[in-house]
């Protein structure tokens, strides 16, 4: 299908309707057409290192262009990782490319329904995503990974310490975006598309950007010790 300009359904507030402190849990589209949804007042997150997560292939099972609630399946251990981050006071941010919208495969209404169900299932597991960003643009946009726009927006919204934050993703582009945003490191998980991105991910490692590879998010709980270290209490 050819690309199209993403439209705003009635269920999604237009740009500018979200509150400045991030308390608009219904979500909104910003001026660049990126979806932002805060799970709570974000003021508590100021100065903290965040756990950034890709959504498809990291938190939920990869299905091409997920847009139906019945196709949503949590990856084992993902909710538990998020819940533990919540308990430790580590902000959890999901940053997801959603090119299926620009390509005409589904719309914001379907995305919104999947997000609502995902948040419900996480809540039932005692887990909460503090901030979600989704970029619908394709093929290129400053907010589309591997560009760092979504990471920088999250940092600005919640006053995060990006320099101590990490990302967990299933594509090298997740880590590339994190490196461009000057995060501390990234973990490539082998769920989703991860198995095909190992070499590219390893090549992204620098003295300033650490790279690790794990089987799944469940195996990345060691990262929480690093994210919580050095925080003022």
Per-residue confidence (pLDDT) for residue 133, from 0 to 100: 98
Q: Which residue has the tokens 């608009």?
A: 24
Q: What is the pTM of this model?
A: 0.89
Q: What is the pLDDT of residues 173-218, one digit of tens each?
A: 999 999 999 999 999 999 999 999 999 999 999 999 999 999 999 9
Residue 25 pLDDT greater than 70, yes or no? no
Q: Which two tokens stand for residue 67?
A: 């847009």
Return the SS3 of 213: strand
Q: What integer best gives the mean pLDDT of the chain?
A: 90
| d(C-alpha 149, C-alpha 153), whole Å | 6
78-87 and 108-124 helices cross at what angle (nearest 10)?
70
Single out the catalytic residue among 25, 30, 56, 109: 56
Q: Which two tokens stand for residue 78?
A: 């993902």
Assess whether 25 carries a catalytic annotation. Answer: no
Are the C-beta atoms of 46 and 162 separated by less than 8 Å?
A: no
Q: Which two tokens stand for residue 86?
A: 């919540």
Are the C-beta atoms of 47 and 228 separated by less than 8 Å?
A: no
Per-residue confidence (pLDDT) for residue 21, from 0 to 100: 41
Q: Which residue has the tokens 């805060």?
A: 38
Single out the catalytic residue among 21, 30, 54, 64: 54
Q: How many CA atoms does the CB half-sphere of 217 hold within 13 Å?
A: 29
The residues spanned by each domain of the chain are 28-228
Assess whether 54 carries a catalytic annotation. Answer: yes
Superfamily of domain 28-228: HAD superfamily/HAD-like (3.40.50.1000)
Per-residue confidence (pLDDT) for residue 146, from 0 to 100: 98
> Helix, strand, coil: what percent of the chain each, to 5?
35, 15, 50
């Amino acid at each position: 299908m050819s690309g199209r300009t993403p439209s705003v359904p009635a269920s999604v507030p237009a740009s500018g309707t979200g509150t400045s402190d991030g308390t608009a849990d219904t979500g909104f589209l910003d001026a660049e057409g990126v979806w932002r949804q805060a799970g709570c007042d974000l003021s508590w997150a100021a100065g903290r290192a965040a756990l950034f997560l890709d959504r498809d292939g990291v938190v939920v099972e990869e299905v091409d262009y997920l847009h139906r609630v019945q196709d949503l399946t949590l990856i084992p251990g993902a909710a538990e990782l998020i819940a533990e981050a919540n308990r430790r006071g580590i902000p959890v941010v999901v940053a997801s490319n959603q090119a299926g919208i620009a390509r005409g495969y589904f719309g914001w209404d379907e995305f919104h329904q999947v997000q609502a169900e995902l948040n419900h299932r996480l809540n039932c597991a005692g887990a909460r995503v503090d901030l979600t960003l989704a970029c619908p643009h394709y093929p290129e946009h400053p907010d589309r990974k591997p560009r760092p726009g979504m990471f920088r927006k999250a940092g600005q919204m919640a006053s995060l310490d990006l320099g101590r934050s990490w990302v967990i993703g299933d594509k090298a582009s997740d880590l590339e975006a994190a490196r461009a945003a000057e995060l501390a490191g990234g973990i490539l998980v082998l769920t989703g598309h991860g198995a095909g991105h190992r070499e590219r991910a390893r090549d992204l490692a620098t003295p300033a950007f650490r790279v690790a590879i794990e089987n799944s998010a469940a195996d990345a709980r060691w990262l929480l010790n690093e994210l919580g270290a050095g925080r003022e209490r």
